[in-house]
Amino acid sequence: MQISDLPYPDPGVPDARSGPRFLLWLGRGQLGGQLKSLCWGMLHFTGVAALPYAVGLGVDAVVDHEPNRLLLVGALLLGIGVAISVGDSMLHRTAVTNWITAAARVQQLLARKTAELGSALTRRVAAGEVVAVSTGDVEKIGWFVEAVSRFLAALFSVVLVCVGLLFFAPELGVVVAIGVPLIALAPLPLLPRATRRADVQREKAGKATELASDTVAGLRVLRGIGGEELFLGRYREASQEVRKAAVRSARMWALISAIQVVLPGALMITVVWYGATLVSDGRIAVGELVAAFSAVATLLYPLRHFQEIAMAYSFSRPSAKRAARVLSLNRTDAVAAVAERTARTEPVRAPAPGGDLYDPRTGLLAPAGRFTAVVCGDPDLAGRLAERLGGHPMDEAAASDAGAEAEAGAPSPAATTAETTADTVGAPSVLLGGVALDELDLDTARTLVLVQDKDPVLLSGTLRELFDVPASGAVDSAAALDAAQCADVLDALLQSAPDGVEDPMDARITERGRSLSGGQRQRLALARSLVTDPEVLVLDEPTSAVDSHTEARIADGVAALRAGRTTVVLASSPLLLDRADRVVLIDEGTVAAVGTHRDLLRSEPRYRAVVTRETDEEQRLGGLELTELEEALTEIEESA
């Protein structure tokens, strides 16, 4: 695999059982690149290792006054120089290729897993950790993969130097052969402590990143309540903790580096002192002493790669562990169902168009081609139901984690819904046209059913790029924008666009649409969902951030544009509910009532309590006057 061939057609199925296993899997996937890098590294380091012996031969030729032999040594030195230069250039090229391709493979795997898990990912892994894995951790994993071949080539050269000295100058060769392993192994006792300090640094850095992400995401709210200084102060404290941890980690690595300098220096002094004694006794020639001295000096270069591989592994092991944790997450709890689908000889066919959407867990039925509204008293239950209707509920491990957090009293979103989530684990899959969505390929299921959650994300880019999504082609962007009442949004984008931009579709949207209001972002996201024109569209509170008049027009626009297509809206707004063909009340996790909005207002107290926000006292006294509520709905409808 070359850099020009990226991305991978298929990054493969990783071994995510542990960090070291994941690193080993990455290495096996790049054997060809590693062998190339190793071969060029051996050429480079062999030249480096041969250089001292050539120098020693040259010294002997000068001492013996043999000019012809000196010319041969000069030619040998020239060849060694060429080998060192070519080997170093190609080693760097192939090693960097290994780094980039390994990092690209990990990023593709993470992107695929993120797309597969959807919103379930953030229930299992904090947002800051996801950012750390996809950025810094990927770099560290690539560093280790890149350093392996260089280390093996350096190890080969060290062995070559030691063995060569044993034959070239046996007395000095024994000293070097004993000293070099001691130098290489001396830092090993310090590596566990250095690794622990590096782990602490990365943990604190991850927390600081998560805190920064949360602060930036909620900066508008923080400014509104005057709390930005409080959170900035917390971030300053977190960043100082990261700095202190980084200094402690750097001190340990500095000590290891010092050992890698002091011990070879001591070995060099020993070789010179002992070699000078041997020369004065006439036991070795001057050239042999020069060769031994040069060999020990040359060993400083390959020995640095011993320290590098130790650092690379120490930094990449926890990074690989975090990446493996993310990659080991499953889309659903039905691991057995996944294995069953894999074992099938024939794939499950997509259902025929025009099938009903049915959830066996709650008993919810959304007839084909109808506009169905769903009312849940619990907003969290509505969000989980929307995900379930899309075929990607929380997986079993997430439910277990959530349950554990709930028992421990951890204040996490997963913990607050642990009991209800645990009940959904193992429940039958949602059926579309009688076919379970879990049995379909993920791409097929998401083509048939599109879910827009209550907090949709707008990616940066032009409005035209925002609407460049997989779609049936039956709905154009103009119709979708009109149905979602985005006229004022287009005007705002055009006003803020640079000079020369005349078409609002060419206006740029900032990251996550931060330059737009919440209602504007919500309407653009709704228009994007309408453009896709899926067979089933599930909307979770699509108008919670807009005013009542705009909401009424949006309800009419969506109903008209989605006529003949299955649409499910989870909402509690009377304006949306009044436009629905049928309304379903979900109470305590199951269907409690079905009918039209106005019929349910009259006949179902539980429905009326959710929709009209009645208090317990109002329910006891008989509720609100329904005629007044109906008159208000009619008035808003007429004004819209």
Q: What is the DSSP string of 541-610?
A: STTTTS-HHHHHHHHHHHHHHTTTSEEEEE---HHHHHHSSEEEEEETTEEEEEE-HHHHHHH-HHHHHH
Say what the alpha-carbon torsion angle 117, 123, 124, 125 is, to the nearest 10 degrees. 100
What integer pLDDT is reported at residue 504 of this predicted model? 86
What integer pLDDT is reported at residue 486 of this predicted model? 93
Q: What residue has token string 């709210």?
A: 221
Mean pLDDT lowest among 259-268, 407-416, 551-560, 618-627? 407-416
Q: Is 282 left (phi over 0), alpha (psi -120 to 50) or beta?
A: left
Mean pLDDT lowest among 271-275, 402-406, 560-564, 597-601? 402-406
Q: To the nearest whole number, what is the mean pLDDT of the chain? A: 80
The stretch 309-315 carries a mean pLDDT of: 83
The stretch 414-433 carries a mean pLDDT of: 55
What integer pLDDT is reported at residue 401 of this predicted model? 44
Chain-centre distance of CA 285, in angstroms?
61
The better pLDDT of the pair 370, 123 is held by: 370
Phi, psi of 294 (to 5 degrees): -65, -35
The stretch 306-327 carries a mean pLDDT of: 84
First-last CA distance in the chain: 60
Q: How many residues does the chain have?
A: 640
124 pLDDT exceeds 80? no
Chain-centre distance of CA 397, in angstroms?
19
Q: Give the confidence band of 460 by pLDDT, cuts at 50, 70, 90.
A: confident
Question: Cβ distance 574 to 611 under 8 Å?
Answer: yes
Cross-strand partners of 538: 451, 568
pLDDT in tens, 274-311: 888 888 888 888 777 777 777 777 777 888 888 788 88
Burial (CB < 10 A; 0-12, 13-18, 19+), residue 399, is: buried
The better pLDDT of the pair 133, 633 is held by: 133
Query: Which residues have C-beta within 8 Å of that of residue 233, sequence separation ≥ 6?
Result: none
Assign 417 to helix, strand or coil: coil
Structure tokens at 170: 């046996």
360 pLDDT exceeds 60? yes
CB atoms within 10 A of CB 329: 19
Structure tokens at 92: 């760097």
Mean pLDDT lowest among 218-232, 281-295, 315-329? 218-232
Task: Give the whole-angstrom CA distance, residue 326 versus residue 111.
Answer: 11
Structure tokens at 76: 């040998």
Query: Which residues have C-beta within 8 Å of that of residue 181, sequence separation ≥ 6?
Result: none
Q: Which of 591, 553, 587, 585 is nearest to 571 (CA)?
A: 585
Assign 366 to helix, strand or coil: strand
Rounded alpha-carbon distances, angstroms, from residue 537 to 132, 350, 366, 443, 569: 33, 17, 11, 15, 8
What integer pLDDT is reported at residue 363 of this predicted model? 92
Please report the sign of the dihedral spanned by the C-alpha atoms of residue 179, residue 182, residue 187, residue 190: negative
Amino acid at 190: L
The stretch 126-138 carries a mean pLDDT of: 74
Q: Give the confidence band of 121 by pLDDT, cuts at 50, 70, 90.
A: confident
Q: Give the confidence band of 345 by pLDDT, cuts at 50, 70, 90.
A: very low
Q: Which residues of 112-136 are buried (b: 16+ CB within 10 A; e: fewer)?
A: ebbeebbbbbebbbbebbbbbbbeb
Task: Give the whole-angstrom CA distance, residue 583 versus residue 575.
Answer: 12
Task: Give the whole-angstrom CA distance, residue 1 versus residue 152.
Answer: 21
Q: Give the confidence band of 226 by pLDDT, cuts at 50, 70, 90.
A: low
Task: Give the whole-angstrom CA distance, residue 377 versus residue 613.
Answer: 10
Whether omega for the bond prior to residue 456 falls within 30 degrees of 0, making it cis, is no
The stretch 616-620 carries a mean pLDDT of: 48
Q: Which of 306, 352, 335 is nearest to 425 (CA)?
A: 335
Rounded alpha-carbon distances, angstroms, from residue 486 to 479, 549, 550, 575: 10, 13, 10, 18
Q: Which of 195, 29, 154, 208 is nearest to 103 (CA)?
A: 29
pLDDT in tens, 367-410: 999 999 999 978 788 888 888 888 765 544 444 444 444 443 44
pTM over 0.75: no
| Whole-number percent of the chain with pLDDT over 70 | 83
332 pLDDT exceeds 60? no
What integer pLDDT is reported at residue 297 of this predicted model? 79
Question: Cβ distance 591 to 584 under 8 Å?
Answer: yes
DSSP state of 518: H
